[in-house]
């Protein structure tokens, strides 16, 4: 089953990260608490033993001092045997020296085997975020639910690509000239776009609108989310448009595959500007996270590029093994989830690009993550939507 948290999922990233860190280190806290209690008992026993030894030492010193005083008094009264008494006195002084120093305070032992194993895990994974991410995703190996089935009727999928999530509704760009909507429980809700769409690939939602890229005839579409009617379309501004997304201002960013750029449109589909020209090879998907633009690129060196909103390239990282058809998304902890179609895998990376988990999936395409950290991914070959 998917990892579950409290019913109320924090929207604040700091609160969620704190929750994950607390969950991740629950074991180390428990072990440390047990070791603390053991240590307190050990220290108490050592203290009692120390006090007994110290009291014995002080008592022995006092007795020896008393005996030395007696010998000295006797030596004054009995001069004939002074030499014998002097030797006895020296022997007593030497014995007294043995007890002159305080009893040493012992250093308690501490069995940290359990703690050490978790510290080794931290050292291996490299970051608290990696451990938190591993805790969230490590049990995700097989789908807990599949949505849809192969076919061309309503509720059947022919070639699922891009996905978008609207509450408990999943919007699916099905390359069989339509958009299909299912509930996250797998119930078919609606389809639209037949007769208007040819090969929809990317899909994004903003307010009451649905934006769709259609790669075969180089269209970008805008539909109403209320009645699913076509509002507007633009053609040939982009060539083979693939993944797309919207920002908080309603701008639509499109992976313009054959123009090697990200094309930016207004919410009315007016072309505004381009990002990444001469820096991208074959961009496949684009998403926005923490006010930065992330682009999945079919590049032989690095497959993820980060741009500022103004278009400056900030970072290029993450090299996938196959890098053909790539979709990406983010969870609430800024982990990067990438579907590697030719690699038959879903890859979860930290925001720094450290791989923390990999899930096998047959030709994965569109991918999204909900607030419960359930991964929702389209399988292009199986023609279903898998939920992990």
Determine the pLDDT at residue 99. 64
Instruction: Find the mean pLDDT for residues 4-31.
Output: 62
Determine the pLDDT at residue 114. 58
Is pLDDT of 7 > 60? Answer: no
What is the rounded distance in angstroms from the CA atom of residue 26 to the CA atom of residue 201? Answer: 43
Determine the pLDDT at residue 90. 73
What is the rounded distance in angstroms from the CA atom of residue 166 to the CA atom of residue 270? Answer: 25
Determine the pLDDT at residue 11. 56
What are the backbone dihedrals phi and psi of residue 289, each rounded to the nearest 5 degrees, phi first? -145, 130
Both tokens of 328, joined, read: 């990406």
Both tokens of 350, joined, read: 């930290």
Determine the pLDDT at residue 3. 44
Q: Which of 358, 341, 346, 353 is nearest to 317 (CA)?
A: 353
pLDDT above 90 covers a percentage of the chain that reads 60
Average pLDDT across the chain, whole number: 85
List, in order, residues 6 or more apart from 160 with CB less than 8 Å away. Answer: 148, 172, 173, 174, 175, 365, 366, 378, 379, 380, 383, 384, 385
Residues 129, 346, 171: CA angle, nearest 5 degrees:
105
Is pLDDT of 77 > 80? Answer: no
Enumerate helices (H) and strands (E) in the chain, giving the number of each. Answer: 5, 26
Determine the pLDDT at residue 82. 57
Which phi-psi region, left, alpha or beta, contains residue 300 (left: φ > 0; alpha: ψ -120 to 50)?
alpha
Instruction: Find the mean pLDDT for residues 201-216.
Output: 97
pLDDT above 70 covers a percentage of the chain that reads 78
Is pLDDT of 297 > 60? Answer: yes
Instruction: Please report, in angstroms and rounded to a whole number, the separation of the first and last CA atoms in the chain.
Output: 8
Lowest-confidence segment of 45-54, 91-100, 119-128, 372-381 by average pLDDT: 119-128
Which phi-psi region, left, alpha or beta, contains residue 276 (left: φ > 0; alpha: ψ -120 to 50)?
left
Q: Domain segments of the chain: what residues? A: 24-125, 142-387
pLDDT in tens, 185-207: 999 999 999 999 999 999 999 99
Is pLDDT of 161 > 60? Answer: yes
pLDDT in tens, 339-360: 999 999 999 999 999 999 999 9
Instruction: Find the mean pLDDT for residues 136-159.
Output: 95
Determine the pLDDT at residue 5. 44
Lowest-confidence segment of 30-39, 168-177, 355-364 by average pLDDT: 30-39
Alpha helices in the chain (DSSP H): 13-24, 26-77, 82-98, 113-125, 128-137
Q: How confident is the model at residue 62 (pLDDT cuts 50, 70, 90)?
A: confident
What is the rounded distance in angstroms from the CA atom of residue 299 to the CA atom of residue 144? Answer: 33
Hey, which CATH number is domain 142-387, 3.90.1150.10, 2.120.10.30, 3.30.930.10, 3.40.50.880?
2.120.10.30
What is the rounded distance in angstroms from the CA atom of residue 255 to the CA atom of residue 244? Answer: 6
């Amino acid at each position: 089953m998917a990892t579950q948290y409290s019913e109320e999922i924090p929207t604040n990233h700091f609160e969620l990260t704190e929750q994950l860190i607390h969950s991740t280190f629950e074991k180390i806290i428990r072990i440390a608490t047990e070791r603390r209690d053991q240590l307190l008992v050990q220290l108490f026993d050592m203290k009692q033993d120390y006090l007994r030894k110290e009291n014995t030492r002080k008592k022995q010193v006092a007795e020896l001092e008393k005996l030395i005083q007696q010998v000295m008094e006797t030596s004054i009264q009995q001069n004939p045997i002074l030499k014998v008494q002097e030797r006895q006195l020296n022997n007593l002084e030497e014995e007294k020296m043995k007890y002159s120093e305080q009893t040493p305070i012992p250093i308690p032992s501490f069995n940290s085997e359990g703690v050490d194993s978790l510290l080794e895990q931290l050292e291996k994974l490299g970051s608290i975020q990696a451990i938190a991410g591993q805790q969230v995703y490590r049990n995700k190996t097989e789908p807990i639910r599949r949505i849809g089935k192969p076919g061309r009727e309503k509720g059947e999928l022919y070639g699922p690509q891009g996905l978008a999530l609207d509450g408990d509704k999943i919007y699916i760009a099905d390359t069989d000239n339509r958009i299909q909507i299912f509930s996250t429980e797998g119930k078919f809700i609606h389809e639209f776009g037949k007769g208007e769409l040819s090969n929809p690939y990317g899909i994004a939602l903003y307010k009451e609108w649905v934006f769709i890229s259609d790669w075969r005839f180089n269209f970008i579409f805008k539909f109403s989310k209320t009645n699913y009617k076509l509002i507007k379309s633009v053609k040939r501004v982009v060539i083979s448009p693939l993944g797309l997304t919207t920002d908080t201002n309603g701008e639509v960013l499109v992976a313009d595959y054959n123009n090697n750029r990200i094309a930016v449109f207004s919410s009315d589909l007016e072309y505004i500007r381009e990002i990444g020209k001469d820096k991208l090879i074959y961009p496949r998907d684009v998403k926005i996270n923490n006010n930065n633009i992330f682009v999945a690129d079919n590049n032989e060196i690095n497959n993820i590029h980060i741009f500022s909103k103004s278009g400056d390239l900030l970072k290029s990282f993450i090299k996938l093994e196959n890098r053909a058809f790539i979709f990406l998304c983010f969870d609430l902890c800024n982990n990067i989830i990438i579907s590697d179609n030719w690699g038959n895998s879903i890859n979860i990376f930290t925001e720094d690009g450290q791989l923390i988990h990999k899930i096998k999936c047959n030709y994965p395409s569109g991918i999204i993550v909900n607030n419960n950290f359930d991964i929702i991914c389209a399988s292009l070959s199986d023609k279903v939507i898998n939920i992990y």
